[in-house]
Amino acid sequence: MVEETRSGSRKSRVVSETEPPERLGEVDGSHHRVLTTGVGEFDRVLGGGLVAGAATLVGGPPGIGKSTLLLQAAAGLARRHGPVLYVSAEESLAQVRQRADRLRAVHEHLWVTAASDLDQIAQQLDQVQPVACIVDSVQTVSDPSIPAAPGSLAQVRDSAQWLVHQARARSAAMVLVGHVTKEGTLAGPRVLEHVVDTVVSFDGDGHHALRMLRVAKHRHGPTGELGVLEMTGRGLIDVADASALFLADRCVEVPGSAVVATIDGDRPLLVELQALVVPSSLPAPRRSAQGVDSSRLSVLLAVLQQRAAVSCGSRDVYVSAAGGARVVEPGADLGLCLAIASSMAGITLPSELVACGEVGLAGELRRPVGIEQRLAEAERVGYRTALVPATVEPGRSSLRLLRAASVTEALDQVLGSSGRRGPVDLVRGSSA
């Protein structure tokens, strides 16, 4: 139960004059002004940049680099378009200046304030008249007319609505930083996501330098875009060729390593999946998955046991997406099965092979979405052979396609090409 007390002071401020209705055919449908930030991947996932008069919500776990990203974006906006107001409600101005010096983000048109009161922010907006305002974070600003602590449901909801209204009334781009919960969802009421025009998630593995930008909602452009950045000592830099970065440290002479062609949003990527299958001394063998859906791993292990006679029942299975990548789409099923079988049989997969296909419960291989994009990315990186479902047509790709109708047939084609016993027999012998 949450007690809320309403007052009318804020209402009089945010309610504007009533505008008469217009005929839809007479409404100006021209595109809004787009403000480029200079952070290439950030601009790309937003369809060119921030939109003047629109509100963008950026969420991510603590310490992932949200403040770094937005301070770089603020400096880029100031250089290109004019005054920018950066509201640092969590850090002191000295801390912001130290970060700006490290990022080389100091500019005469970049204004910064540590205000967390909406009345003070309103005065700063009137004084600076910025083309963009960044609030870090929306959970720490508060409305003095509401008798509730900052971060409460009432404060977050009303503060976000007021800030969005300011963006539209002033034709300025408004960026709100949002905290996330332990489950990875944005903290606060759901209205926080509904009231803004764009929702961007910024995440990554804290033990790796790669950071991922994903757009979950965008009223002024497409959704599903993926941006890849790398955290360095001087801030975030764009990663133009993410596939090459994911595969840079791959060891090709070790069993259990498979390269899969996956799609994250609308962006094709090549990712290395690694598997390690070892005898277990526990009554319930371990199943460990990093960067891979653990429930999907359990399903694939069951399919391998029932349909391909590849049993891991008495073995510990460890799988990982190398380089800090996260692979959750079904098009990587075939590559994961190959990595597991390769580790069990002790046979190295061909170094020039890339796999792509969804595995059904009957052991059949299904054509994944965007197969042409996946194969084009594999060809661009330099791979020469692709293992795909039997329904995939050659198309315009110059790759040599190995087609298989089932996971058993795929294992025989790749691991049984040396003329020795087939991989299923090898795995049976090792598991026995």
Q: Which tens digit of pLDDT belongs to each residue from 25-64? A: 888 776 678 999 999 999 999 999 999 999 999 998 888 9
What contacts 360, CB < 8 A, 6 or more positions away? 303, 366
pLDDT for res 236: 95
Q: Is the confidence at residue 4, as pLDDT, over 70?
A: no
- Amino acid letter at 30? S
H or E element at residue 213: strand 210-218
Q: What is the pLDDT of residues 207-243, one digit of tens each?
A: 788 899 999 899 988 888 889 999 998 999 999 888 9
CA distance 140 to 151: 6
pLDDT > 80? residue 12: no
pLDDT at 15: 46
Which segments of 291-417 are extended strands (E)? 315-321, 353-355, 358-359, 365-366, 385-389, 400-404
Count of CB atoms situated within 10 Å of the CB of 428: 16
Residue 412 has pLDDT above 60, yes or no: yes
User: CA-CA distances (angstroms) from residue 386 to 131, 372, 394?
Assistant: 49, 12, 11
In this predicted structure, the answer to whether residue 421 has a pLDDT above a threshold of 50 is no
Structure tokens given for 293 = 């859906």
Query: pLDDT tens for residues 256-304?
Result: 999 999 998 788 999 999 999 999 999 999 999 999 999 999 999 999 9
**Tens-place pLDDT, residues 143-201:** 988 888 888 888 888 999 999 999 999 999 999 998 876 665 665 656 788 899 999 99
Q: What is the mean pLDDT of residues 388-394?
A: 91
- The CATH number that domain 32-240 falls under is 3.40.50.300
Report how far Cα 179 is from the mean position of its chain's Cα atoms: 16
Token code pair at residue 182: 């332990």
- The whole-number average pLDDT for the span 376-399 is 90
pLDDT of residue 184: 59
Tell me which architecture the domain covering 245-431 has in CATH. Answer: 2-Layer Sandwich (3.30)
Q: Which of 86-90, 178-182, 345-349 has the weakest average pLDDT? A: 178-182
Q: Please state the domain extents for the chain.
A: 32-240, 245-431
Confidence of residue 66 (pLDDT cuts 50, 70, 90): very high
- Three-state secondary-structure class, residue 54: coil
Q: What is the pLDDT of residue 223?
A: 86
Average pLDDT on 327-347 reads 95
* Residue 422 confidence (pLDDT) above 70: no
Q: b or e along 263-277 (b: 16 or more beta carbons within 10 Å of the residue's beta carbon)?
A: bbbebbbbbbbbbbb
133 with 87: CB under 8 angstroms?
A: yes
For the cut 60, the answer to whether the pLDDT of residue 353 exceeds it is: yes
Mean pLDDT over the full length of the chain: 88
Q: What is the pLDDT of residue 255?
A: 95
Of 2-11, 137-146, 192-201, 330-339, which one has max mean pLDDT? 330-339
Q: Please say if the pLDDT value at position 14 is more than 50.
A: no
pLDDT band at 3 (very low <50, low <70, confident <90, very high): low
pLDDT band at 11 (very low <50, low <70, confident <90, very high): very low
The pLDDT of residue 249 is above 50: yes
Helix (H) or strand (E) holding 51: strand 50-51
How much of the chain, in percent, has pLDDT values that exceed 90? 66
**Other C-beta atoms within 10 Å of 241: how many?**
12
DSSP helix/strand/coil, 101: helix
Residue with tokens 């590849």: 310
394 or 80: which carries more pLDDT confidence? Answer: 80
